[in-house]
Amino acid sequence: MIQPSGPLRGTVAVGGAKNDVLPIMAACLLTEETSVIEGVPQVSDVLMMADILRELGVAVELNGPQLTITPGRYSGTTATYDLVSKMRASVCVLGPLLAKQGEAQVSIPGGCVIGPRPIDLHLKGLQALGAAISSEHGYVVAAGLLHGARVHLAGAHGSSVLATGNVMMAATLAEGTTVIEQAACEPEVADLVAFLCAMGARVEGAGTPVIRIDGVRQLHGARHQIIPDRIEAGTLMLAGAVTHGEVVIDGARADHVAALSEKLREAGVEVDVLDGAIRVRAPRRLSAVDVTTLPYPGFPTDLQAPIMALLATAQGVSVLTEKIYPERFMHVAELNRMGASIAREGASAIVKGVPRLSGVPVTAPDLRAAAALVLAALAADHQTELSGLEHLDRGYQHLEEQLRQLGAVLERVEIPSARQAEGVPGWS
């Protein structure tokens, strides 16, 4: 049961960013030499990416936060359906495999509960570099020698994080210069550039919409420290706000969470930038604010569900609009079960603040919805039973310990109930 936890207080450290590690693990495929990555969160998405690399013949060792990847003369070129279907991000092995091995077969990633997950921009970019792309029996098949090109990488919903990564990684070994326009500017893309440069790639424009890559003949291994997880930092900031407490998130990068900080201040939360940390204080009931998700540096779509949990009990009406994943509202029904008053209108959710939510059995439908339900439960009027924690474990290594450190009362146990699929872990 997640208990109403009163105002959270104290200091907690933020972990390494899952969405930074995954493409960097794929980038290791660009060389035979060993790379060592530090500060890696032990979350199931990282374990799944390790299995994909092992299936290609790459040696992967995870010792706590240190990941050692030794590709050697690996021969694999196929990422199979059973692994790719579990984690869409595995599509980012396509570019490196194509560049290093001259061919790749990657299962077409299915959609997921947050909406369709097309890869047309990935394929458009790789085709521009000279790859012949076809689809055979549910696999994307790519082959060819790559040459530099000028590529526009934005679709109806703006830039694409992993498409930018895929094309950039492929271009590092292409013959000639590639310019990616409308590239994604997320910190994880900028950090992938830093890793590629440490491997000997020639890449400029990190964090800007125009990235230039001058192809080189080969790359070497590198050591790299993963950046702090801005979504985990934001989730912890929201935990302090929703419980009207005072928390310090150690290691959080203020520039990476600026859009959230601005919205929190607008809602009446005090957000202070300290030396290498961020402090959040929310002494009283908060005011409604409107939020629209956008590519970085706009408000991140991954914090749309978590901030909805905060706004569910804010004073007034908030409108949350999804410009990235218009279907990303699976958490609305669960929050409404807890007594929230939220209505869907197309790509928006209209959140009428209520005084308090009620603790009831709820089930997490996806990763960030799971985080939102944890936040809602912390401030509910009595205990909450949350199931579906396998979603939470994809992206948060130790959210329960972090919250306990701040005074939250929650415990993870098996829930033997008809409501619960057999053996699925839950918090009770």
Q: Is 170 in the site for ligand EPZ (CB under 6 A)?
A: no
End-to-end Cα separation, the chain, in angstroms: 3
Binding region for ligand EPZ (CB under 6 A) out of 158-166, 174-182, 277-285, 417-425: 158-166
The residue within the footprint of ligand EPZ, chosen from 14, 185, 291, 324 (CB under 6 A), is: 324
Q: Judged by CB, which is closer to ligand EPZ: 166, or 420?
A: 166
Interface with ligand EPZ by CB under 6 A: which range of 119-127, 207-215, 354-362, 404-412?
119-127
Asked if 155 touches ligand EPZ (CB under 6 A), the answer is yes
> Are residues 365 and 394 in contact, defined by beta-carbon separation less than 8 angstroms?
no
At residue 414, φ and ψ (nearest 5 deg) are: -70, 140
Query: Which of 190, 192, 233 minimizes the C-alpha distance to 12?
Result: 233
Q: Does 121 bind ligand EPZ (CB under 6 A)?
A: yes
Residue 185 in the binding site for ligand EPZ (CB under 6 A): no
CB 333 to ligand EPZ: min, Å: 19
When binding is defined by CB under 6 A, the residue of 102, 118, 144, 200 that contacts ligand EPZ is 118
CA atoms of 277 and 270, how far apart (whole Å): 14
Smallest distance, ligand EPZ to C-beta of residue 17, A? 9
For the record, the structure tokens of 263 come out as 């919205």
Maximum pairwise Cα distance, the chain: 62
Q: Is the separation of the CB atoms in 223 and 198 below 8 Å?
A: yes
Kindly state the smallest distance separating residue 124's Cβ from ligand EPZ, in Å. 8
| Nearest to ligand EPZ of 43, 249 (CB atom) | 43
Q: Under the criterion CB under 6 A, does residue 50 sit at the interface with ligand EPZ? A: no
Comparing CB distances to ligand EPZ, the nearer of 89 and 320 is: 89
Q: Which is nearer to ligand EPZ, 45 or 385 (CB)?
A: 45
Is 112 noted as a catalytic residue in this protein? Answer: yes
Closest distance to ligand EPZ from the beta carbon of 427 (Å): 20
Is 302 an interacting residue with respect to ligand EPZ (CB under 6 A)?
A: yes
What letter does residue 398 receive in the DSSP assignment? Answer: S
Q: Which of 92, 112, 185, 197 is catalytic?
A: 112
User: Is 264 one of the binding residues for ligand EPZ (CB under 6 A)?
Assistant: no
Between the alpha carbon of residue 400 and those of residues 133, 250, 255, the distances in Å are 44, 17, 26
Q: Does 169 bind ligand EPZ (CB under 6 A)?
A: no
Q: How many residues bind ligand EPZ (CB under 6 A)?
A: 23
Q: How far is the CB of 398 from ligand EPZ (least distance, A)?
A: 16
Residue 240, phi then psi, degrees to nearest 5: -65, -40
For ligand EPZ, the closer CB: 117 or 337: 117
With a CB cutoff of 8 Å and minimum separation 6, the contacts of 344 are: 329, 332, 350
Sequence-distant (≥ 6) Cβ neighbours of residue 293 within 8 angstroms: 299, 300, 301, 304, 320, 321, 322, 323, 324, 325
User: CA 216, 219, 225, 228: dihedral to nearest 10 degrees?
Assistant: 50
| 3-state secondary structure at position 315 | strand
**Footprint of ligand EPZ (CB under 6 A):** 19, 22, 89, 117-122, 155, 157, 160-163, 184, 301-302, 324-325, 367-368, 395
Catalytic center residues: 112
